[in-house]
Amino acid sequence: MASAGSLVVGLMSGTSLDGVDAALVDFSEGHPHTLATFWLPYPAAIRQQALQLQTAQHDEIHSAALLANELAHCYAEAVRQVLARAGTDAAHIAAIGCHGQTIRHQPAAGYSVQLNNPALLAELAGISVVADFRSRDIAAGGQGAPLVPAFHAAVFGDSGRHRVILNIGGIANLTDLNPDKPVRGFDCGPGNLLLDGWIERHKGLHYDEAGNWAREGRVLPELLKHLLADAFFSTSPPKSCGRDEFNLPWLEGHLKGSERPEDVQATLLELTVLAATLAIGRWCGKPDELFVCGGGARNLLLMGSLLRHLPDCRVAGTDSLGQPADWVEAVAFAWLAWRTLHGEAGNLAEVTGARGPRILGAIYPV
């Protein structure tokens, strides 16, 4: 039975810009137990504003501040909905862990920007908010990303099995859980963001369901070779990336213009797969198991391609480990907020490159 003060709402709105994932998580038994989930799609206007702010705009400080306020209202609605599903109210919630919406990720320049107005969210929800998780790690010399490997290690580690956890959201990141070595983790390249952007441009759809459109095309070897030649893929961890590195203009710089759109989609899917599997082979060795979370876990063609490239490895979604693939990151930010509230470090310095463990986030109490 959940006790007062053991419940945290995790909110994640990732690089895919599709909406807000909300998870109500109970920590009364020490480990995270998800009680309810809710997904709130972004209105088209918010999605478009967030995309525009990925690059320099006229009066962007004002635009970013207004969008942060709008996002706070979206986040508050997602909290209301997930609490309603669980049949509980704000008085029973210790905190909201809110990642915010990334619009710039520049750790080499000393910053990563996640749009959010946590003070407004605390007012709207009547619940304390933990936010700004990445800044402290960057201040300590780290990449500020990925932050989920600490959570992956806590909930997915197995003393007898070498596991890799692959999160395929807009960007793909992996966590190497080798029981004989320290935990490793890093961004390995684009996940769904190029696939989503390309199908939206040509089909008006937000994503390629099950990889069905990519299935109609064929991989273009020369294009794939040029895409994989990007220096990011051969850079040693720790490393992280975002829309700053991988975006449609980056893709267009490699196109001749005569390619069939479905062939480009098939090639982008293979890029996501090879970015992950080559990174696993180069920096993780040969794992026994690969568990996938994020939207990419629902792409049947992508999952089949992962298995094809890792024939001696079990490939499955994290659902089989008791954490539904769609909600892992929202639960992770509830877990990170829980650690912040209890004065415990949330980063893994060996993952991010920070000078040591750090308590992450800022608390906005009610």
Q: Are residues 313 and 275 in the same domain?
A: yes
In a domain, 19, yes or no: yes
Looking at the 3D structure of the chain, how many domains does it have?
2
Helix (H, G, I), strand (E, B), or coil: what is residue 202? helix
Residue 167 burial (CB count, 10 A) = 31
Question: Given this model, what pLDDT does residue 4 score?
Answer: 52
CB-CB contact of 28 with 2 (8 Å)? yes
Place of tokens 């298995």: 307
Q: Are residues 246 and 189 in the same domain?
A: yes
Question: Given this model, what pLDDT does residue 298 score?
Answer: 96
Peptide bond into 41 cis (omega under 30): no
Q: Are residues 243 and 299 in the same domain?
A: yes
Taking the CA of residue 204 as centre, how many other CA atoms within 13 Å lie in the half-sphere pointing to its CB?
0
Provide the residue-wise pLDDT of the chain in tens; the chain has 366 residues.
455 589 999 999 988 888 999 999 999 998 999 999 999 999 999 999 998 998 888 899 999 999 999 999 999 999 999 999 999 999 999 999 999 999 999 999 999 999 999 999 999 999 999 999 999 999 999 999 999 999 999 999 999 999 999 999 999 999 999 999 999 999 999 999 999 999 999 999 999 999 999 999 999 999 999 999 999 999 999 999 999 999 999 999 999 999 999 999 999 999 999 999 999 999 999 999 999 999 999 999 999 999 999 999 999 999 999 999 999 999 999 999 999 999 999 999 999 999 999 999 999 999
Question: Given this model, what pLDDT does residue 15 score?
Answer: 84
Residues 334, 337, 339: CA angle, nearest 5 degrees = 115
Q: Are residues 216 and 94 in the same domain?
A: no
Q: Are residues 160 and 81 in the same domain?
A: no
Helix (H, G, I), strand (E, B), or coil: what is residue 331? helix
Residue 25: which of 329, 345, 354, 356 has the closest Cα? Answer: 329
Q: Are residues 74 and 132 in the same domain?
A: yes
In a domain, 41, yes or no: yes
In a domain, 2, yes or no: no
In a domain, 189, yes or no: yes
User: What gap in Å lies between CA 46 and CA 179, rounded to an integer?
Assistant: 43
User: What gap in Å lies between CA 14 and CA 127, rounded to an integer?
Assistant: 22
Q: Are residues 227 and 331 in the same domain?
A: no
Q: Are residues 196 and 58 in the same domain?
A: no
Domain that holds residue 309: 148-325
Residues 173, 148, 305: CA angle, nearest 5 degrees = 30
Classify residue 3 as exposed, middle or buried by CB count within 10 Å of its CB (0-12, 13-18, 19+).
exposed
Sign of CA dihedral 177, 181, 183, 187: negative
DSSP per-residue codes, 121-168: HHHHHTS-EEE--SHHHHHTTS-----HHHHHHHHH--TTS-EEEEEE
Q: Are residues 53 and 197 in the same domain?
A: no
pLDDT tens profile 333-356: 999 999 999 999 999 999 999 999
Residue 254 burial (CB count, 10 A) = 17
User: What gap in Å lies between CA 356 and CA 127, rounded to an integer?
Assistant: 30
In a domain, 1, yes or no: no
CB-CB contact of 141 with 352 (8 Å)? no
Q: Are residues 90 and 185 in the same domain?
A: no
Q: Are residues 87 and 138 in the same domain?
A: yes
Tokens of 94: 């210790």
Q: Are residues 92 and 224 in the same domain?
A: no
